[in-house]
């Protein structure tokens, strides 16, 4: 009897194991099939996505190459920087607009620093003249030398050195002249005023006799300090520069 019971228990245990094994086999098969179906769906979905975004398979468009324009460098003091004015009222900006309108393909660089003297301009001239494609230099310095009473021979030597540096880089040059008032004394007035045309003649560069022609001493064209042009005066100064600059330009 005992052996018969053991046999029945063993048979029942084996039956249970067999059932459990078959259950696991069926479950594993279902999971495996699910993975296959999911994988197929993802594969189809990926192919579909690639079809809808074919632009992603195209090479990236390279940006157009911008042509470098020759530069006109305006090296000066507050008269160039546009003291008391907005950037769009300064003469370098207005000159750029005029050049564009007349078909000249140049870029004007405003290298004006308020308060700068001829010595200050000389000290920074190396890096200013290192501008890529710099072709023309507008040299406007000396007014602050005048206001500080700096000896004319020192100012002239500084401007001469800047001119030589620019010529060494094959830049064309426009030298802007200034006038000294009688209050500086007769000798200083004469020496200062003559320094600019002398420099232009000695170095054979273009010359604008008086930057502030038709502007100086006119309260309607100057700011409250009576020295710096206002927005209207700046327009006239731009025309003065433009007329003197034209012989140096090429279309």
Name the pLDDT band for 23 (thresholds 50, 70, 90): very low
Residues in the chain, overall count: 251
Span 196-220, pLDDT tens digits: 999 999 999 999 999 999 999 999 9
Beta bridge partners of 75: 111, 139
Enclosing domain of residue 211: 71-248
**Residue 228 catalytic?**
yes
pTM here is: 0.74
**Residue 164 catalytic?**
no
60 belongs to a structural domain: no
Same domain, 143 and 40: no
For the cut 60, the answer to whether the pLDDT of residue 187 exceeds it is yes
For residue 188, the surrounding DSSP H or E stretch is helix 186-203
45 belongs to a structural domain: yes
The predicted pLDDT at position 230 comes to 98
Catalytic pick among 78, 90, 118, 125: 78
Same domain, 124 and 10: no
Report d(CA 175, CA 196) in Å as an integer: 8
Same domain, 75 and 139: yes
For residue 6, the surrounding DSSP H or E stretch is helix 2-52
For the cut 50, the answer to whether the pLDDT of residue 58 exceeds it is no
Same domain, 77 and 106: yes
189 belongs to a structural domain: yes
Work out how many domains the chain is built from and give that number: 2
Same domain, 15 and 78: no
From the list 246, 238, 241, the residue with the least C-alpha distance to 89 is: 238
Q: Are 181 and 149 in contact (CB under 8 A)?
A: no
Report d(CA 200, CA 167) in Å as an integer: 13
72 vs 43: which has the higher pLDDT: 72
For the cut 60, the answer to whether the pLDDT of residue 39 exceeds it is no
- Range 10-27 average pLDDT: 41
Same domain, 41 and 127: no
Name the pLDDT band for 108 (thresholds 50, 70, 90): very high
Percent of the chain with pLDDT over 90: 72
Of the CA atoms within 13 Å of residue 109, those in its CB half-sphere come to 19
Catalytic pick among 57, 132, 220, 225: 225
216 belongs to a structural domain: yes
65 belongs to a structural domain: no
Helical segments of 53-116, H only: 78-81, 91-101
The predicted pLDDT at position 229 comes to 98
Beta bridge partners of 137: 73, 173
88 belongs to a structural domain: yes
Structure tokens at 144: 């602050």
Same domain, 27 and 118: no
64 belongs to a structural domain: no
**Residue 78 catalytic?**
yes
């Amino acid at each position: 009897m005992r052996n018969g019971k053991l046999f029945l228990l063993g048979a029942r245990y084996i039956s249970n194991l067999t059932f459990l094994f078959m259950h696991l086999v069926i479950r594993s098969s279902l999971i495996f099939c699910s993975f296959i179906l999911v994988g197929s769906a993802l594969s189809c979905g990926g192919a579909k996505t690639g079809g809808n975004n074919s632009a992603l398979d195209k090479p990236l468009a390279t940006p157009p190459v911008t042509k470098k324009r020759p530069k006109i460098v305006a090296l000066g003091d507050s008269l160039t920087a546009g003291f008391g004015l907005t950037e769009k009222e300064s003469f370098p900006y207005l000159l750029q607009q005029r050049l564009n309108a007349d078909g000249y393909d140049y870029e004007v660089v405003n290298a004006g620093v308020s308060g700068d003297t001829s010595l200050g301009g000389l000290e920074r001239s190396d890096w200013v003249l290192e501008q890529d494609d710099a072709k023309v230099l507008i040299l406007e310095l000396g007014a602050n030398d005048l206001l500080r009473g700096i000896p004319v021979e020192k100012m002239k030597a500084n401007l001469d050195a800047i001119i030589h540096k620019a010529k060494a880089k094959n830049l064309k040059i426009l030298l802007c002249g200034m006038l000294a008032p009688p209050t500086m004394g007769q000798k200083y007035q004469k020496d200062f005023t003559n320094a600019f045309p002398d420099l232009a003649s000695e170095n054979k560069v273009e010359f604008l006799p008086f930057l502030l022609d038709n502007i100086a001493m006119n309260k309607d064209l100057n700011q409250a300090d009576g020295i710096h042009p206002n927005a209207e005066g700046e327009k006239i100064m731009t025309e003065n520069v433009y007329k003197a600059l034209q012989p140096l330009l090429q279309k």
